[in-house]
Structure 1
Amino acid sequence: MGIQTTLPIGAVCGSCYRQLRRTPSLCAGCGQIRPLVGIDAHGDRICGPCSGDGRNWHCHHCWKVDLLIDNILCLSCSVESRVQDLLTGPDGHIHPHLAGVSVFLLDENPRERTLMWLNSARWVSLLRSLIESGDPITHNSLDQLKQDTHVRYLRTVLVHTGVLNGRDHDLDVVEAWIDELLEDLPHEIALLLRPYASWSVLHRARRRAAHRPPAGSVSRYARARITAAAQFLTWLNEHDLDLADACQADVDRWLDDGTTTRQRLRDFLLWANSHHLAADLRVPGLGREGLPQHLLGDDQRWALLRRCLRDPELDLRLRVAGTLVLLYAQIPTRIVELTADNIVTDDTGMHLRLHTMPVPIPPPLATLTIELFEENEQQPPDTPVWLFPGYRPGTHFSGSRLSTNLNKTAGIFTRPARGAALCALAADLPAPVLADLLGVSVAAATSWSALAGRDHLDYLAARIDNPPE
């Protein structure tokens, strides 16, 4: 008789349940491949029926021996039944245009993840409400909802599954977001912020989206600047100050008390000054290619690089991303856009295409990159194979979140780390080569070369004597 070690499914934690289901093995009692939940007298692991447990172990639908939910259905059958209930409309049928959602929930994601969504995900509840209404699901119907992360995730799922067509930009959503933001602000602040948000930021964002498609970042561009303005005006109000009376010391104080994202206030202050609403107040530029005030020292840079390459306790994504920052001066917003197409492998090893020229990858980084691709191998079909996939289907990870994680978890502050890498590269490469390699402007590459103290007159002379064909 086996020693019973099983528990009612309600008493098994999610982690243990997933582990038991993911590791079915050969039962020492019956010789079948099943989840092993008991131990026999010899210490061998056995399945539920062989353990002597008298409960039902056979799914009422497929009759497979498995851990059962509510002692009735196995996980797979339970999830299939609940997905069908979720997508069934008031007429008792699943509309054909929702077939892609069924595929996404049942085929593109593990059943454990889908069960978690069905149990607690807010976006699933929102989807059910839209289906129950019987009205067509459109971008406009989503625009009427509070534009939080749950609605954005649902929209991404619906676009990914073909229920909705993709938008070149989501500035219509930003308009609704502005209305919600202003509702929660004091009247005098909302009155000042409305024309800036609607007539300046959104106007320029729409023009930018029209001329530079695809423009998936325009909404972030707009939100960041409007949020910075709202936060600064709120801070002035809390300190009994008006925008018209604010001085440079007030701006500097506000900037010093926060992160570099506050520098996006620069756009609002320029607008306010041009409309005679504020003095000529200054904020340092955010330019990607500008020289940072502080650079990592060589010892600190190499110490961080060794940690990225050798520390197995550090998250794999941060190890790869941190190495790309410290070695190749890449910014997080570009790192997260890397796909399998950027990786080139030949007889000489692995190369990474950062701009126009493939860059050789040292073997330790190549190994980490392969591991990361293997870890992320389950991605939706017909989408780019992202090196850093996002939480929403078909998207890549957030560049700003990656930057935050690098700072807080890995101790890598992007600007000084990238600056140190650029300085090191500029010491060895001529400015034109550096520009082609990393995708920075020649002017910026020249500035870094000057900072590195390298004179490339010999390179220029060689190019004159031997011009490219």
Structure 2
Amino acid sequence: MRWLSESPSARLLAGLAAADRPISHDLLDELPPGHAERYLRHTLIATGVLPPRNDDLERIPAWLDAQLAERPPHHGQLLRPFITWVLLRRARRQAGDRLHATSAAQRIRRRVRLILEFLDWLDAHHLDLAGLDQNRLDTWLRNLTGQLPWLFPGVVPGRPLSRKAFNDRLARQGIHTRPARTAALIALATELPAPVLADLLDIHIHTALKWARHAQRDWSTYLTARATDLTAATQPAQP
């Protein structure tokens, strides 16, 4: 009874009931974001009133609207289709658990901020994407990297911590990077052609092809094996 009389979430629920509209995730998305809204949403999911959803990902559209609210219209025209139909669509397809959905949402937010910074730079230099060439892009990238301090500085001034030293620090905390690295390489090999993967990660093309085969990107091995099994199954048994 105390929760009903004092909780902000209860007051939100009372307001929704008074609105005489079906309770849905879309309706809750219209509420001011905050602890009360999140608590109410998860309560309704736990009680079966609402179906489960990847909330970290589904909050991205409203967050994107807030980011674009005071920006030139062409920023939204460029960014919204890419976020909605590429990044969010891919993240929803791949989100198998809460941890993956949360990390995917964080990556999308970082990419949005970076793209907006790039669009601001284009506007400041009176450029559009059609007029962008490699030299100008390289200039922006140099400026970007010059603004970013090393998150883990190394012993040598101005240089980052080496990969081995970083891995040793993680291992002392019980964190082993090889499984995560393997999973990341498999995910990239699933999404990218081997030549692109080799160029992106600066690895040999033969190594990229091995990762592509490991990820079974083209499914050719599976299809061949499946065809063999079906052929064997349709042949009459020998007396």
Q: TM-score of the superposition, structure 1-length normalised?
A: 0.30
Q: 1:295 aligns with which of 143, 154, 164?
A: 154
Q: How does 1:414-453 map to 2 (within 5 A)?
A: 416=161, 420=165, 422-423=167-168, 438-441=176-179
Q: Distance in 1 between matches of 2:35 and 2:60?
A: 13
1:296–1:419 CA contact under 8 A, matched in 2: no
Larger Rg belongs to: 1
Q: Distance in 2 between matches of 1:158 and 1:443?
A: 37
Aligned to 1:254: 144
Which amino acid in 2 is paired with 1:220?
Q
Instruction: Compute the displacement of 1:151 (Å).
Output: 3.7
- Unaligned regions of 5+ residues in structure 1, if any? 1-79, 87-117, 261-291, 298-414, 429-435, 445-469
Aligned to 1:228: 114
Aligned to 1:207: 93
Which amino acid in 2 is paired with 1:196?
F
Aligned to 1:85: 5
Instruction: Compute the displacement of 1:225 (Å).
Output: 1.8
**Cα-Cα RMSD:** 4.2
Identity %: 30
Q: Distance in 2 between matches of 1:438 and 1:224?
A: 25
Q: Does 1:216 align with 2:106?
A: no
Instruction: Compute the displacement of 1:204 (Å).
Output: 1.8
Which amino acid in 2 is paired with 1:186?
P
1:159–1:165 CA contact under 8 A, matched in 2: yes
Aligned to 2:216: none
Which amino acid in 2 is paired with 1:216?
A
Q: TM-score of the superposition, structure 2-length normalised?
A: 0.51
Structure having the higher helix fraction is 2
Q: 1:132 aligns with which of 18, 21, 29?
A: 18
SS for the counterpart of 1:137 is coil
Aligned to 2:213: none
Q: How does 1:169-188 map to 2 (within 5 A)?
A: 171-188=57-74
1:169–1:219 CA contact under 8 A, matched in 2: no
- Unaligned regions of 5+ residues in structure 2, if any? 183-239
2:4–2:11 CA contact under 8 A, matched in 1: no
Aligned to 2:228: none
2:91–2:101 CA contact under 8 A, matched in 1: no
In the comparison of the two structures, how many residue pairs are matched?
Answer: 172
SS for the counterpart of 2:101 is coil
Structure having the higher strand fraction is 1
Deviations 1:31-80 (A, max 9, x none): xxxxxxxxxxxxxxxxxxxxxxxxxxxxxxxxxxxxxxxxxxxxxxxxx4
Aligned to 1:11: none
Q: How does 1:37-48 map to 2 (within 5 A)?
A: none
Aligned to 2:53: 167
1:147–1:176 CA contact under 8 A, matched in 2: no
Which amino acid in 2 is paired with 1:84?
L
Which amino acid in 2 is paired with 1:295?
G
Instruction: Compute the displacement of 1:191 (Å).
Output: 1.7
Instruction: Compute the displacement of 1:186 (Å).
Output: 0.5
